[in-house]
Amino acid sequence: MNPRILFVDDEAAMLEMLSVFFGEKGYDVATARTAQEAMALADQGSYDLTILDINLAGENGLELLRFFKTNFPRLPVVMFTGLPEDDLLDQAMAGGASGFMKKTDSLDELLAAVQVYVPRP
């Protein structure tokens, strides 16, 4: 069975690109554009890694991080951001995030970061 990743981001184009890229690398990818979609998917299935945008449109990625860490404490959650490192990332790490990735990283860098948590199939 392929490793499963849940990507949560409010940018549809970003989700599409990451789904295709990681799907081609042998990962099963589910996507959510809102906190509600992410929570529903998490409750319905099992994931090996969640990658969570820290700034969801109109929603707080830190609150969603708390949901994951409360309900799925062993699930690695990596924060995904287009912002420079700041207090939000510090708060995310203090809140139990496993790490962070930048939206400006190359796809190969994102793949390497994912492989830290979920080995390549």
- Which sequence spans correspond to the domains of the chain? 30-99
CB-count exposure of residue 71 (10 Å: 0-12, 13-18, 19+): exposed
- One digit per residue, the tens of pLDDT, for the chain of length 121 reads 899 999 999 999 999 999 999 999 999 999 999 999 999 999 998 999 999 998 887 788 889 999 999 999 999 999 988 776 566 767 777 788 898 888 888 999 999 989 999 987 6
The answer as to CATH 3.40.50.2300 being correct for domain 30-99 is yes
One-letter-per-residue 3-state SS of 56-98: ECCEEHHHHHHHHHHHCCCCCEEEEECCCCCHHHHHHHHCCCC
Q: Which residues share a beta bridge with 29?
A: 5
